[in-house]
Structure 1
Amino acid sequence: MDIDRYFARIGLSEMPARSSDGLGAVQMAHRQSIGFENLAIPLGQGIRIDSASVFEKLVTRGRGGYCFEQNRLYADALSAMGLVNRPLLARVLLGLGEGVVPPRTHTLLLVNLDGEAWIADAGFGGSYVPPLPLEDGAQVQTGDGAWHRLLRGGERGSLGGEWRLERAGPAGATDGRGAPHGDWQPQYVFDLDDVAQDDLEMSNHWTSTRPGTRFTTLCVASVVLEGGFASLSDRQFTIGRHGKSEVRQIETAAEYARLLGETFGIALSEEDAAKLPIFA
């Protein structure tokens, strides 16, 4: 981890304090600068989640990535800052019906802040998830107008998860999977079991290769904006700020590549954009 190059990538000139405010500052800068994307999958490039490969892709080459890449980079950066952390695995519930039990295809971080446990997540593509203390009922509001809360739920190891993250806010500040109402909606559930690197490798392999899933059938990207959120689902571009949303279709590979660079912080050449199945 070259922490100076990482900070340059996310637009920070110096290391923030090792505090909850500092954690929030790094995470917000990360999510506003390094877009979430799965484009390596439809391009047939594969996804590696070891530290060196992730740094080379997201920092050196200026690409984005999805949760297993984003939170590998984020974990390495937090470790370099002196913040002890470890990965957790979660089941994403955003946009799913009641009673559906999805596999554990999302990773987030458990961070030790002066002896207190916090969750931190720079890799959730559906909406912005701020750092939260691991406390039943913990709540925080974000700049997109949404509230977020943690609830202690089922028993450890249960399918429903030991903890449940929920969000209440405008659907326009999500990737389109948020319900149109602003009531509390589940984002994901997780427990605190230890997660080995091979557990992450297995989840990453399933997520990036399983036929018929979101990441193997769509080209997606998202990024956090000041007061809002932007997302791409195939050629549909949605941008929401301060409760108002705009939607338009991307017509050409050149426009797509330019939008990725200007809005999402993702460097993808026009030639590679043209190879995506949405333009083939």
Structure 2
Amino acid sequence: MDLDRYLARIGLTGHPALSPEGLATLQMAHRRSIGFENLAILLGEGIRIDSASVFDKLVTRGRGGYCFEQNRLFSDALGALGLVNRPLLARVLLGLGEGVVPPRTHTLLLVNLGGEAWIADAGFGGSYVPPLPLEDGAQVQTSDGAWHRLLRSGERGSLGGEWRLERAGPASATDGRAAPHGDWQPQYVFDLSDVAQDDLEMSSHWTSTRPATRFTTVCVASVVLEGGFASLSDRQFTCSRDGVSEVRQIETAADYAALLRGTFGIALSDDEAAKLPIFR
């Protein structure tokens, strides 16, 4: 981890304080600067989630990545700052029906912050998930107008999860999978079981290779904006900022690549964009 290069990539000139406010500042800067994306899968590049590969892709080459990449990089940065953390695995419930039990295809971080446990997540592409103390009923509001809460929901190892993260806010400030109302909706469930690197490798491999799933069939990208959120689902661009929403279709590979570079912080060339299935 070259911490200075990472901080430059996310637009910070100094080390954040080792406090809840510092953690929130670092995570927000990360999500505003390094877009969430699965394009390497659709380009046939494959996904590597070791520290060196992730740093090369997201920092050196200026690309984005999905949760296993984003939170690997974020974990390494937190460690370099002196914050002990470890990965957790979660089941994403956003956009799913009641009673559906998906596999553990999302990773987030458990952070020791001054002796207190917090969750941090720089890699959830569906909406912005702020850092939260690991406390039943903990709540926080984000600049997109949404509230987030953490609930103790079950026992460790249960299919329903030991903890449940929920969001209530405008559906426009998500990637489109949220229900079209502002009531509390589940984002994901998780428990505190130890997670090995090979566990992450297995989950990432399933997520990036299983046929007919979201990440192997749809080109997705998202980024957090000041007061809002932007996302791409194939050629459809959706942007919500300060209560104003925009939805439009991207016509050409060159326009798509320019949008990725300008809005999402993802350095994809025109030629690379033209190789995506949505332009072939």
Residue aligning to 2:72 = 72
Distance in 1, Cα, partners of 2:213 & 2:165: 22
Distance in 2, Cα, partners of 1:80 & 1:240: 34
Residue aligning to 2:181 = 181
**What letter matches 1:22 in structure 2?**
G
Q: How far is the alpha carbon of 1:242 from its aligned partner? A: 2.1
Residue aligning to 1:272 = 272
- Structure 2 stretches of 5 or more lacking a match? none
Moved more, 236-245 or 204-213: 236-245
Does residue 1:240 correspond to 2:240, yes or no? yes
Residue aligning to 2:164 = 164
Residue aligning to 2:6 = 6
Q: How far is the alpha carbon of 1:192 from its aligned partner? A: 0.1
Distance in 1, Cα, partners of 2:235 & 2:216: 15
Does residue 1:26 correspond to 2:26, yes or no? yes
Q: How far is the alpha carbon of 1:143 from its aligned partner? A: 0.2
Residue aligning to 2:228 = 228
Matches within 5 A, 1:143-162: 143-162=143-162
Q: How far is the alpha carbon of 1:243 from its aligned partner? A: 2.6
Give the secondary structure class of the aligned counterpart of 1:77. helix
Matches within 5 A, 1:11-90: 11-90=11-90
Distance in 2, Cα, partners of 1:244 & 1:260: 20
Distance in 1, Cα, partners of 2:178 & 2:145: 14
1:172 and 1:241 in contact (8 A); partners too:
no
- Structure 1 stretches of 5 or more lacking a match? none
Distance in 1, Cα, partners of 2:128 & 2:242: 14
Deviations for 1:70-94, whole angstroms, at most 9, x for unmatched residues?
0000000000000000000000000
Give the secondary structure class of the aligned counterpart of 1:182. coil
Q: How far is the alpha carbon of 1:154 from its aligned partner? A: 1.0
Deviations for 1:189-222, whole angstroms, at most 9, x for unmatched residues?
0000000000000000000000010000000000
**What letter matches 1:260 in structure 2?**
L
**What letter matches 1:248 in structure 2?**
R
Give the secondary structure class of the aligned counterpart of 2:176. coil
Distance in 2, Cα, partners of 1:41 & 1:92: 19
Distance in 2, Cα, partners of 1:242 & 1:61: 31
1:172 and 1:244 in contact (8 A); partners too:
no
Distance in 1, Cα, partners of 2:51 & 2:156: 29
Distance in 1, Cα, partners of 2:174 & 2:108: 18
Matches within 5 A, 1:127-146: 127-146=127-146
**What letter matches 1:184 in structure 2?**
W
Distance in 1, Cα, partners of 2:16 & 2:73: 17
Give the secondary structure class of the aligned counterpart of 2:255. helix
Deviations for 1:243-272, whole angstroms, at most 9, x for unmatched residues?
331100000000000000000000000000
Q: How many residues align?
A: 280
Distance in 2, Cα, partners of 1:32 & 1:272: 23
So what's the TM-score if we normalise by structure 2?
1.00
Distance in 2, Cα, partners of 1:155 & 1:111: 20
Q: How far is the alpha carbon of 1:155 from its aligned partner? A: 1.0
So what's the TM-score if we normalise by structure 1?
1.00
Segments of 4+ moved more than 2 angstroms: none
Q: How far is the alpha carbon of 1:69 from its aligned partner? A: 0.1
Distance in 2, Cα, partners of 1:24 & 1:108: 14
